[in-house]
Structure 1
Amino acid sequence: MNRKNWRAYTYYGLLITFLIFFTWGFFEVVDALQENEVAAFDAAIIQEVQSWVNEGRTARMVFITDLASVTFLTAATILIGAYLVIRKRYGWAVFFVLVNGLGGAFNGFLKELFKRQRPDILPLIEQGGYSFPSGHSMGSFIFYGALSFMLFRLLKGKWKKTIAAICAGTMILLVGLTRIYLGVHYPSDVLAGFSIGAAWLFFCIMLFHFGEYRINRRLSR
């Protein structure tokens, strides 16, 4: 096996490993929720995070959480997709729009499936709908994760790629934290949102690579 093939197999092996790991993580949270084993975990984290509440911090938390709202993510996805089309990056445009659009629909399906009510411990903002898994957490992982993956592939320079990955990871974690701070999600909702969002993202990345491989193989004939 040459070095190029070895690197490709290693990369795909990691993608499959991450997909299995995060899918397993989601079902572990689901199992704990159904067995009523998350109450102490949720209560302890909520108590700690909401001890930080003050007016100035709350305003910043609302601003951050809005960067993962349905309205913001939908608008940003459309704008980025349109930009990619203008730049004739059609494959990337399809990937980015579908991974986010179908990911949002998937979250809606899961919320209707589990029908968990939102916490009523010091909610700082109004938020309707069901609680599990957190749509903001899942949506932020998919959107910022997909954006980071795309930039990692398209940007030149190791530092640019690293900065994009760090910014995306930081944003994802901050969004999850805001959902607990604002009192609209249990920590287990956030953890489940991250897990299933990551699983969906890695699944879509694998499909993207498969499509890329098929197209390149067809063009090389």
Structure 2
Amino acid sequence: MDADSISPLSLWLLLPVLIAVVAIGRWLAWPLWRLVLIWIPEFWHLLLQVPLPDTLSWRIGRRWPRFTAWITGRVDPNRFAGLPLTLIVLLALYLVSLAAGVLEAVLENEELVALDSHINQALTVMRDDRFVHLFHWISGMGHTNTLAIVLTVAILLLWAQGRLADLYGLILAAGASSTVTWIGKYVIDRERPASLTFAEALSPSFPSGHATGSMAVYGFITFVVARQLLGPRQQFEVVYWGLTLVGLIAFSRMVLSLHYFSDVAAGLLIGAFGVVAGIALAEYRRERDAEPAQP
């Protein structure tokens, strides 16, 4: 079916659908949040309390003392350099593998290229003029100039509050992810989708710089804010609405026909890797700064 033969839906139908998707997502995300932040840590704490048989524990420790000490340190839940850092490294490796898989598929898999085209064509039903203008405004929140202003303000606030660990983490998250994205754009040099709206962009398509930058900057700021809150419900609200903003910015790039689905997916993965790296740096520095000075 040609894109010209697809009629866009009315703004008054699209807006309730969008609001319903966001509301249902929030309703479904809360149980998952509780599972990840409350139930899983409690289960892990109970699991660590299960002792190995004395004979087995003694034999393992005697035969591989250094390896045993290293493993014990990696699963220690009481130090950031223990279990938290181990999980962050595993998550970072997983994000890298996903991004590499998307890149390989874009370069070699014709099925993904066809899927990108089908999704772009299917989104024609959402290209009502007023809806496109709404998403053009949302997309502007992920523009380089907007992100630069937000990043500058955040850096100044963190510096003024003396929160250097978070400041360095934010700089790493934004800097590393943006560097990877812009190198990838000009090395891969993928053409953007055919222009179906008034929106324009000059740089190559893959990966999406808006998706990368929004995830890195807004994602890390969301972490900084949520970390200061005590209740899990408050933290959930901050994280959910922060990621919803990132998701809307990424989705706007497809509605505006400025990016394919795979461009946006790769950008979000690169940005998420930047956030994970920034969190690791911030928490490492925070733990190091909290340690008592050696006499």
Among 202, 209, 224, the alignment partner of 1:135 is: 209
Matched, 1:55 2:148: no
Matched, 1:162 2:233: no
Question: What TM-score results when the alignment is normalised by the length of structure 1?
Answer: 0.90
Among 157, 168, 172, the alignment partner of 1:94 is: 168
Among 7, 25, 30, the alignment partner of 2:103 is: 30
Pick 1 or 2: higher relative contact order, CA cutoff 8 A, min separation 6.
1
- Offset, 1:106: 2.7
- Offset, 1:218: 5.4
Root-mean-square deviation over aligned CA pairs = 2.1
- 1:6 maps to which residue? 77
Question: Which residues of 2 match residues 165-204 of structure 1 at below 5 A?
Answer: 165-204=239-278
Matched, 1:69 2:140: no
- 1:17 maps to which residue? 90
Unaligned runs of 5+ in 1: none
Residues 115 and 107 from structure 1, CA distance in 2 versus in 1: closer, same or farther, beyond 3 angstroms? same
Distance 2:89 2:171 in 1: 22
- 2:186 maps to which residue? 112
Question: What do residues 65-88 of structure 1 show as CA deviations (whole Å, max 9, x unaligned)?
Answer: 111110001001101111122222
- 2:34 maps to which residue? none
Alpha-carbon contact 1:78-1:97 (below 8 Å) kept? no
- Offset, 1:94: 2.7
Residues 116 and 69 from structure 1, CA distance in 2 versus in 1: closer, same or farther, beyond 3 angstroms? same
Question: What do residues 37-62 of structure 1 show as CA deviations (whole Å, max 9, x unaligned)?
Answer: 32221012112222211111111101
Identity %: 24
Distance 2:104 2:205 in 1: 16
Question: What TM-score results when the alignment is normalised by the length of structure 2?
Answer: 0.69
- Offset, 1:33: 1.1
Alpha-carbon contact 1:122-1:183 (below 8 Å) kept? yes
Q: How many pairs are equivalent?
A: 220
- Offset, 1:90: 2.4
Unaligned runs of 5+ in 2: 1-47, 50-74
1:49 maps to amino acid: L
Question: What do residues 101-138 of structure 1 show as CA deviations (whole Å, max 9, x unaligned)?
Answer: 34323321121221111111414301111111000011
- 2:4 maps to which residue? none
Distance 2:176 2:96 in 1: 17
Residues 6 and 99 from structure 1, CA distance in 2 versus in 1: closer, same or farther, beyond 3 angstroms? closer
Among 120, 123, 130, the alignment partner of 1:46 is: 120
Distance 1:31 1:133 in 2: 13
Distance 1:46 1:21 in 2: 27
- Offset, 1:7: 5.7
Alpha-carbon contact 2:208-2:263 (below 8 Å) kept? yes
Residues 96 and 6 from structure 1, CA distance in 2 versus in 1: closer, same or farther, beyond 3 angstroms? closer
